Structure 1
Amino acid sequence: MKQMAKSSSRKTTSSKVAKKASKILRDGRTSKTSKSVAGSALAQAKSHKK
């Protein structure tokens, strides 16, 4: 099986996409796949700790 090369760039999810991902996770009507993608996007988002 072919393995993907690790990327050295540090990419983060924009706040706009993170907000949409959060909305998807809170919506009970979305599929498991959608929630998985949304969770991945949030995991890559910068945290805004107060």
Structure 2
Amino acid sequence: MTDNTRQTSDEAATAASDVLRDPNATQEEKTAAGSALSQTPSKSDDDE
């Protein structure tokens, strides 16, 4: 499996998290936010 080298900044990840928590966010906004978060390294990746 190929490693994903694209990463979302901490600021963008925080903004994306805020969108996903917003009950008024549109489905398009939530899809974009989810995409951004999928490019954020997980905490377990930081340990390697």
Unpaired stretches in structure 2, ≥5 consecutive residues: none
Which protein has the larger Cα radius of gyration, Structure 1 or Structure 2? Answer: 1
- The answer to whether residue 39 in structure 2 is matched with residue 28 in structure 1 is no
**Aligned pairs (5 A) from 1:1-50:** 10-49=5-44
Question: How big is the shift at 1:47?
Answer: 1.7
Unpaired stretches in structure 1, ≥5 consecutive residues: 1-8
Equivalenced residues, count: 41
Q: CA RMSD in A?
A: 1.5
- Runs of 4+ that moved beyond 6 A: none
User: How many percent of aligned residue pairs carry the same amino acid?
Assistant: 39
Q: Which has the higher helix share?
A: 2
